[in-house]
A and B are shown apart, each in its own frame.
Chain A
């Protein structure tokens, strides 16, 4: 009998909902209750005196204006540290666009008989495109001299739309971009996140040597291929896809794996400092990163 494992899916949806509620409630609290402790959204979030600035926006502003502003740098460093250790977790656990995607998936599951196991993505491109999107975005912004993330960074777009809707009772035209992204999701799961999101590209670049990874135990794996089907990024998890920089640690494959071959693990350093002479010679604990060799 297989032991009952934690369902990351439930926790992830909870976290996404909480994150979405945060940016939905913040303008309301600010406007009607004058509660200004929390302000902003995922472009720049202010919690008391702590400022968190989105690394994409902050870096682009720094590169274009060639001006270093210390509060902004400190604000950038927090998400960068998180991405360095945990990888692209912002995208799968916090991003409001991810929340909307998941909600669409839930509706589709309920009413339109959507099943991720039988679902086939309609448009499949090379995952490498995300690097070109990231580089292109930076280069184009530097040529134009204006940041263009305003139009193509969806977390900021959603937050700005919510703020404008609540405070000024009007929506900006940029909302159409959000609708377009959600529309593309109907053809390929997370189409924009997979191939074009510059923020996602930056976070996966920062986190390509992340500590938290999904480990594949080759001995338990039966090559059923379910993980590859359910992966929202379309990664071949059974062939070591979870070790690639594109993995965003959502835990979907861990939930669906029937044999329990997949699990999260915190990668420690390869060569642990030996405690005494004995451990130096042979029995040192070295974690295996290679999926093909197993444990």
Chain B
């Protein structure tokens, strides 16, 4: 291989590596969450050693491990709230060896915040009466309250476990989890 070809390869490699895309940008988005007690996303990928013990200890198989397609985030744990939500058994925070998942109690978990889409929700748009999310919520009357049977999320108490999203019968989901705490810059 001559030098020019090598430099070309190197330059392409660097460009591909630095280009914003699935390879370098965080996989965390609506309904794709970090496990309970996770530190902010800015530090998550650098502190996590990808040992996967959170996924192994999860009794509900909520925690999935990302593969090499996610680039730098390969091997880090995520929860797909629509598929299997977090049931807040808090086993993963006990086994994390690096403190990437900090030891928090159930009520202190902030995986995200539930958001009700009032146009899609059958109770809000008046096409029916449903309170699946209210029934599923582990913190009834604290995180989700009913206002004339219409669900209202209380941001102070919502832990973002995704049980409401999982139970929502409407498609697309009328209640989703936004991981707003993952991108709060604080250490």
Contact = CB atoms under 8 A, between A and B. Distances in A.
A167 B60 CA distance: 11
Contact of B49 (A43, A46, A163, A174): A43
A117 interface: no
Interface string A62-85: 001101010110010000000000
A141 to B, nearest CB: 9
A53 interface: yes
B169 interface: no
Contacts of A174: 67-68, 74
A58 B52 contact: no
B72 A160 contact: no
Contact of B46 (A71, A72, A75, A145): A145
A54 B48 CA distance: 13
B97 A151 contact: no
Contacts of B64: 168
A57 interface: yes
A54 B49 contact: yes
Nearest to A166: B56
A160 B52 CA distance: 7
From B17, B51, B68, name the one whose CB has the most chain A CB atoms within 10 angstroms. Answer: B51
Contact of B57 (A39, A58, A72, A172): A39
Contacts of A160: 50, 52, 65, 75
Nearest to A141: B46
A24 B69 CA distance: 25
Contact of A146 (B45, B57, B97): B45
Interface in B49-85: 49-53, 55-57, 59, 61, 64-65, 67-69, 72, 74-75
A40 B57 CA distance: 9
Nearest to B69: A173
A61 B50 CA distance: 10
A234 interface: no
Contact of A164 (B59, B65, B97, B99): B65
B43 A65 contact: yes
A151 B52 CA distance: 14
A167 B56 contact: yes
Contacts of B74: 150-151, 172, 174
A39 B50 contact: no
A27 B47 contact: no
B47 A64 contact: yes
Interface of A: 26-27, 30, 34, 36, 39-41, 43-44, 46, 51, 53-54, 57-58, 60-61, 64-65, 67, 69, 71-72, 75, 144-147, 150-151, 156, 159-160, 163-164, 167-168, 172-174
A-B pairs, top 4 by smallest CB distance, nearest first, are A44-B51, A69-B99, A146-B72, A172-B67
Given A58-B49, A61-B98, A173-B69, 10 more contacts: A40-B56, A43-B49, A53-B49, A53-B51, A61-B48, A67-B47, A71-B99, A72-B99, A150-B75, A156-B51
